[in-house]
């Protein structure tokens, strides 16, 4: 009887175990740059640049965070809106794709500014080359930060010092192998921020090249309950992104969604480390892919190689929606609607031949 009791007690200690992911807590500068270089494809062209124009991009964040624990790998496209989703889902690692090499360079510029900035006030001062108004701290509400900076003029001397500091951070500190053309791209992008006279204004701004949205409007936007959720909305959000940048864990990759290399190499890396894709922000790129004969098929074939689970979600931008979307969001020609869609269900439908149009993937989104 005693022997049986001992055996039963021992068996109770045997519980199913699953291997934890082996994603790195930090990447060396050499490993980071190797991934940028080896995962990237040849650059291409897209007509919009610099920043988002999606004012409702925070609406889906409460649903995105439901029953989700921090971890996994975030994927995205484009520039700064990714930081807001990264702050929300708190991944262990993130990869940002874009067909434009200039977008990769812009992310390196952002990386340097995040690393050099102690808080949100310092960040805004460096990003737009404006001296921080007296009395501001990282504890101030985001709307107050932008209101205070509205009266700060661009400072040419500060711009020159900041630009040199950005290049020094990337070349001398990290020792990234940037080409002369890459350095010219940094000049070009950073100058656009310096010249953005309406970045801190509200209503009718044209910064970003489309949609009349200013940086202030994007960063002070709220979810449907009125809560600001941008990466600059709170100091906690900002520091979440800053810490990942400091540990080289937000990796920009030059890649075509329908390409043969970038998405698949990143997906294989995630799989090799026993992790999953938690979210993939695609903006409205799929809309353009469906305008080509087979580009959307190539994209969904790439996504089908990703390690996913039931919580893995597409974050889409669209001008229309179906089904459970709020009535006010069914169709909005002038503004994008943000939608969520289960990635595993989409790839399953694709493999079964049930996706043939852009409308099909939107119908799977809400």
Q: Read off the pLDDT of residues 140-185 as tens digits, 9 standing for 90 and up.
A: 999 999 999 998 999 999 999 999 999 999 999 999 999 999 999 9
> pTM for the complete prediction?
0.89
What is the 8-class DSSP label of residue 171?
A: I
Percent of the chain with pLDDT over 90: 70
| Cβ-based neighbours of 143, under 8 Å, separated by 6 or more | 220, 228
Residues 6 or more apart in contact with residue 40 via CB below 8 angstroms: 101, 104, 253, 254, 255, 261, 262
Whether 45 shows a pLDDT value over 90: the answer reads: no
Mean pLDDT value across residues 16-33: 83
Of 158, 172, 174, 168, the residue nearest 245 (C-alpha): 174
Which range has the worst mean pLDDT, 45-59, 172-186, 220-234, 304-318? 45-59
In this predicted structure, the answer to whether residue 6 has a pLDDT above a threshold of 90 is no
Least confident of 69-83, 85-99, 171-185, 199-213: 199-213
What is the arithmetic mean of pLDDT over 101-120?
Answer: 96
Note the pLDDT of residue 21: 86
pLDDT in tens, 196-243: 877 887 654 444 443 467 899 889 988 888 999 999 999 999 999 999
State pLDDT tens for residues 129-151: 999 999 999 889 999 999 999 98
């Amino acid at each position: 009887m005693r022997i049986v009791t001992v055996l039963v007690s021992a068996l109770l200690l045997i519980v199913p175990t699953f291997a934890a992911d082996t994603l790195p807590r930090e990447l060396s500068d050499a490993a980071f740059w190797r991934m940028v270089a080896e995962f990237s494809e040849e650059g291409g062209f897209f007509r919009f640049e610099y920043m988002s124009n999606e004012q409702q991009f925070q609406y889906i964040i409460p649903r995105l965070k439901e029953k989700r624990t921090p971890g996994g790998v975030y994927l995205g496209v484009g520039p700064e809106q990714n930081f807001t989703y990264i702050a929300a889902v708190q991944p262990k690692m993130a990869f940002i794709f874009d067909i434009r090499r200039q977008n990769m360079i812009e992310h390196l510029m952002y990386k340097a500014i995040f690393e050099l900035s102690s808080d949100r006030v310092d960040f805004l001062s460096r990003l737009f080359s404006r001296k921080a108004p007296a009395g501001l701290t990282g504890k101030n509400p985001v709307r107050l930060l932008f209101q205070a900076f509205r009266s700060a003029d661009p400072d040419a001397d500060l711009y020159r010092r900041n630009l040199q500091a950005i290049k020094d951070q990337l070349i001398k500190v990290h020792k990234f192998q940037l080409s002369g053309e890459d350095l010219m791209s940094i000049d070009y992008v950073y100058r656009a921020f310096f010249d953005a006279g309406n970045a801190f204004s509200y209503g009718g701004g044209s910064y970003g090249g489309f949609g009349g949205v200013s940086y202030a409007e994007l960063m002070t936007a709220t979810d449907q309950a009125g809560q600001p959720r941008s990466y600059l909305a709170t100091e906690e959000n900002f520091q979440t992104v800053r810490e990942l940048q400091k540990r080289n864990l937000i990796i920009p990759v030059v890649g075509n969604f329908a390409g043969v290399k970038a998405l698949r190499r990143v997906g294989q890396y995630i799989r090799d480390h026993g992790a999953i894709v938690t979210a993939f922000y695609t903006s409205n790129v799929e809309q353009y892919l469906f305008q080509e004969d087979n580009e959307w098929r190539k994209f969904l074939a790439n996504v089908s190689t990703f390690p996913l689970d039931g919580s893995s979600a597409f974050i889409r931008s669209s001008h229309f929606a179906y089904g459970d979307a709020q009535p006010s969001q069914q169709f909005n020609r002038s503004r994008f609607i943000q939608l969520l869609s289960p990635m595993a269900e989409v790839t399953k439908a694709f493999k079964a031949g049930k996706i043939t149009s852009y409308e099909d993937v939107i119908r799977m989104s809400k």
